Amino acid sequence: MLVSAKEMLDKAKAGHYAVGQFNINNLEWTKAILLTAQELNSPVILGVSEGAGKYMTGFKTVAAMVKAMDEELGITVPVALHLDHGTYEGCYKCIKAGFTSIMFDGSHYPFEENLAKSTELVHVAHQLGLSIECEVGSIGGEEDGVVGMGECADPEECKTIADLGVDMLAAGIGNIHGKYPENWAGLSFETLDAIQQKTGAMPLVLHGGTGIPADMIKKAIELGVSKINVNTECQLSFADATRKYVEAGKDLEGKGFDPRKLLAPGTDAIKATVKEKMELFGSVGKA
């Protein structure tokens, strides 16, 4: 059964570990992440960007697939189905489709408009028993065509949004989506600490978890980060394993062209990446 992310993140915040949000792109991704979470007895959040939702033909298809797979695989650990970087319209589509958690990314609006839309969506989500994440200060890199420079959020603005009763807050602290460039300055722990001081028990979210050094991840968790998003790293491991399979000519041996065989090494690579991240985040055995 799918759940909202609130309870698992409150437990993570109190226990000083983080729950991984692993974005899904298709059936293989979903199956790999769910099986790994079950094997490690770890709570997990399945993230769906609007681009990935469109690719999978729509949010209703995604919700139906995830719910059925959760049941068919006999998954017993807490699983949240979460919209990642949702638009105002996208949030309502996911609510109707049966998601258990949404993220409204109003960081590109003037703050007052972000505040007004966040206020409305917090009310709607909580009326329906869904958890909601909001964002202050854009996350760098590119996410579904939106490019951010990796700003640091204003702690006072973070407090204003947190006070609306959001369940988790994504705040820019110099992190970016995708691969990190050579000249990346690193996370601003000073900003993170200032936000934590203002928002108290609010679970904080670190976007762009791919490529951040392990020691920085651990320090971020110590400073209040309870949810860490990973997407690019799983895509890179999937692509690398698939390339090796084809370059070794495995697809030309017997029925190696069968998609179930062709996609198996990449799927195993996703499992390995998810396992590594769950161990780093400290969520193993916390379900």
For residue 207, say whether it is annotated as part of any ligand binding site. Answer: yes
For residue 230, say whether it is annotated as part of any ligand binding site. Answer: yes
For residue 177, say whether it is annotated as part of any ligand binding site. Answer: yes
Which CA distances in Å does 193 have to 98, 154, 197, 233? Answer: 35, 12, 6, 26
Long-range contact set of residues 58-65: C-beta below 8 Å, sequence gap at least 24: 58/97, 59/83, 59/93, 59/94, 59/96, 59/97, 59/99, 60/97, 60/98, 62/24, 62/97, 63/94, 63/97, 63/98, 63/99, 64/98, 65/27, 65/30
**Cα 13 to Cα 92: distance, rounded to the nearest angstrom:** 28
DSSP category for residue 122:
H
**Cα 153 to Cα 231: distance, rounded to the nearest angstrom:** 22
User: Per the residue annotation, which of 84, 144, 215, 258 is the catalytic one?
Assistant: 84
How many CA atoms lie less than 13 Å away from 138 in the CB half-sphere? 14
**Phi and psi torsions of 83, nearest 5°:** -75, 130
For residue 135, say whether it is annotated as part of any ligand binding site. Answer: yes
144 carries an active-site annotation: no
For residue 232, say whether it is annotated as part of any ligand binding site. Answer: yes
**Cα 31 to Cα 287: distance, rounded to the nearest angstrom:** 18
Residue 44, helix vs strand vs coil: strand
For residue 229, say whether it is annotated as part of any ligand binding site. Answer: yes
For residue 105, say whether it is annotated as part of any ligand binding site. Answer: yes
For residue 240, say whether it is annotated as part of any ligand binding site. Answer: no
| Residue keyed to tokens 């409305």 | 120
For residue 210, say whether it is annotated as part of any ligand binding site. Answer: yes
Per residue, the 3-state secondary structure of 156-194, as one string, reads HHHHHHHCCCCCEEEECECCECCCCCCCCCCCCHHHHHH
For residue 108, say whether it is annotated as part of any ligand binding site. Answer: no
Tell me which residues are annotated as active site: 84
Q: Which residues are annotated as a binding site?
A: 85, 105, 135, 177-178, 207-210, 229-232
Q: Which residues are annotated as a binding site for dihydroxyacetone phosphate?
A: 178, 208-210, 229-232
Q: Which residues are annotated as a binding site for Zn(2+)?
A: 85, 105, 135, 177, 207
